[in-house]
Structure 1
Amino acid sequence: MAKMLTATAAALLLIIVTVAAGAGSLLSSFIGGGSQPSATALSDIPVRYLTLYRQAAATCPGLDWSTLAAIGKIETDHGRSALPGVHHGSNYAGAQGPMQFLRPTFTHVIARHPLPEGGAVPPSPYNPRDAIHAAAAYLCDSGARNNSDPRKAIYTYNNANWYVSKVLAQAQRYRGDQALDSSAAALQAIDYAQRQLGLPYTWGGNGPAVGDLGFDCSGLTQAAYAAAGIALPRTAQQQYAAGRRLPGGQPPRPGDLVFYGHPRGGIHHVGLYIGNGRMIDAPGRTQKIRISPYRYAGDDYAGATRPHPY
């Protein structure tokens, strides 16, 4: 949690995020903030938070978004924690919101660094946009600017050496296993599928939005791309036939569909590739939507298609 006040002024740089057109569009691209997100980051961080981390990091030269994301993970699991002080009130130390600010620290930071529009009015440490941008400014003042002393910046945020080590290790995982180069539609589809994790496999299921408990494999991929404004056929076989197939031996990229079975009329399963050798899929009866390896012992992998543009 942020514990100390700083007095060094910093000017905010304005950034523009181009949002994809069309119903249900959440995101067109990630810009600024340093490194590209790894598959681990994409599978763990909600797209809204990942976008905010990258936007906020871009306001501080030298600050990588992964440091902000690591702090958000450790403090509140990107706002998903139900502990006191995350969504209202304060924890035992008085910290508030997804980035766990002390109220005096938050007030001091936003007085020196006006926050971008789109947050709460007045600004609030419980609002993710406000909290993440304030955290970026706080880190910037504390040593992150131009990467001059990143360890000091993290230590200022929470005065513990174990905390610094934990943040740095988590940041490395978020940028370290595989950089992603994906279209807006691919990222939107993955985000949608990620939010269905844990729902039950339901044969013929099209999801809770239409009254089903869960999805079957092709219902999930169809709904994921529908959320990105791309229409797919309903069955795995139809999706395989309709997609732009990757040449044999070419590895899939995040957002590609991966298929199993015989290419000529025997496709029985499809998953959504998310990078780092993993996919999100609805695996079968009695199981839940999950993240799993896309290649495994004894699989009958048939290939991949790319329904999204690059």
Structure 2
Amino acid sequence: MLRLFVRVPPSDDGNCATQFAIGVGLFIAGVVTIAMVVIPLATVNQSVANLTSGALKCTSETEQVEASGYAENSIPENYLEIYQRVGEEKGIPWNVLAGIGQVESHHGRWDGPGITEGHNDWGAAGPMQFGALDGSAAGNSWGGEPIMPVEDRPEEGYGQDGNGDGIVNVYDPEDAIPAAADYLLDHGAKEDIRQAIYAYNHAWWYVDEVLEWAEKYAEGSYTASASIATAVNCTLTADGNFIGSAPDDLVQAVVDWALAQRGKPYVWGGTGPNGFDCSGLVMRAYESIGVTIPRISQDQWNFGPRIPKGQEQPGDLVFFDVQRPGEPPGPGHVGMVIGDGLMVEAWCTNCGPIAVREYDSPNRAPIMGFTRPLEAPEAKAQLENR
């Protein structure tokens, strides 16, 4: 965990228009096809999103995947039991925890430094490789000493006594695995599992490798999106409606389609079906109901009436002030409003998969405004002629 990787804060700098213009040639050459290879992604089966009439539905039961024969034969029996128990207790996929345990320490079986005692060169320790050394590159996310009595555990840190033996021990999988689960949860695992794994170790190759192992450990197919559905579809607005509930069935179909793309990768110049850029996602969402809107964000900004801030509703588009020299004038990023300050978006190459995020955030570029595409005369004409 937390090796020598520098995390680059996500930004809105990936201008959809420029990416599309440059990306057309690359797409023809096949580069985008390579980028769109579906990477195995993990699912937190906290909720089941049913694409039926009306809004996406919310259920809250936890469903853990069964262990594959490969998992039963390759993971030590005690580790497999802990992964599965902690996954059930914490509401996080046990096989993702197992993927981290495999990549970090071969489930405690590596004989390198820091697995059963001491620290590695970056200050990480234990089978889940928590930062456990003050002043080291990895820091001390464990909190306190690697091994300490429960009463000595500081308030800060993720170290815990998972087996109730009175000792908080980073080298004990019964303590380290639930601590890893809490770390992932605190870093948004229920909204974006890939981003949470990235927070655990700041490298996208690491995320991919963990999820490849998670897929091997799962019985049957394993894909990502339900984890994000939990945060969106099981949340109520101030009016008592589920997030993502649109004002009418037509807009609801657009919102449902966009939400169903969560977990798919951001692809530069992508218009689906396996990956999208920001404007490609919203274009295809409206296309799903037979309405054609412009391809790039700058042109989308001029399609449909502007909506005052505070009056936006699910299905509206939110545009961001991302502009660079040589690009067309207008906003360079767009997302789809789903309610209560949230949007579904394809953000940027290094920002994780398509997901739900806040749009009015200090970490984002300034908002230029909102539009309502179905109120555009062109859209109304298209709907009348369907």
**Structure 2 length-normalised TM:** 0.36
Which has the larger Rg? 2
Larger RCO, structures 1/2 (Cα 8 Å, 6+ apart): 2
**Structure 1 length-normalised TM:** 0.44
